[in-house]
Amino acid sequence: MTSIRTRPFAAADRAAWDVMWAAYLAFYETTLPPETSADTWARFLAPAPGHIGLVAEDADGPLGFAHAILHAGTWSPKPVCYLEDLYVNEQARGQGAGRALIEALAKKGRAEGWLRLYWQTDTGNATARRLYDKVGKARNWVRYDLDL
């Protein structure tokens, strides 16, 4: 059994993050201008306010990443954390890296007094939901977007 650990982003992760980020965007059938990805990377590497970037790795290197944004809310003075992106390399899936990333965020949140960690996924993303159903509680809400 390989040992998986999580840690904040490091500059040396850039090449691995580029590959994983491109695969994550491809999963969502999306592409972004290189300058947008470079800006996202920079904001998580030297964390901009509220930005939390975590890498899951084993002895051979990065396996996956999480991007989360901590923000204020109205129902409590405690901040809430939105897990915006979660990705694990295809060949590393099913070994606990995704769970480790969510648990690492939850651990940080408990230590820092956050109210809640939350995220969303496509209702049809069965693989992700197998993990999410174990670590969180599905809500019956529908997301609306008004693109600006």
Contact residue for ligand COA among 27, 78, 110, 138 (CB under 6 A):
27
* Residue 65 engages ligand COA in binding (rule: CB under 6 A): no
* Residue 2 engages ligand COA in binding (rule: CB under 6 A): no
* Residue 86 engages ligand COA in binding (rule: CB under 6 A): yes
At 55, which amino acid appears? V
Angle between helices 97-112 and 126-135 (to 10 degrees): 40
* Residue 128 engages ligand COA in binding (rule: CB under 6 A): yes
Contact residue for ligand COA among 1, 3, 35, 134 (CB under 6 A):
134
Residue found by looking up tokens 């901590």 in the block: 70
**118 φ, ψ to 5°?**
-140, 160
* Residue 106 engages ligand COA in binding (rule: CB under 6 A): no
* Residue 62 engages ligand COA in binding (rule: CB under 6 A): no
Q: If we measure between CA atoms, which residue out of 47, 84, 43 comes closest to residue 65?
A: 84
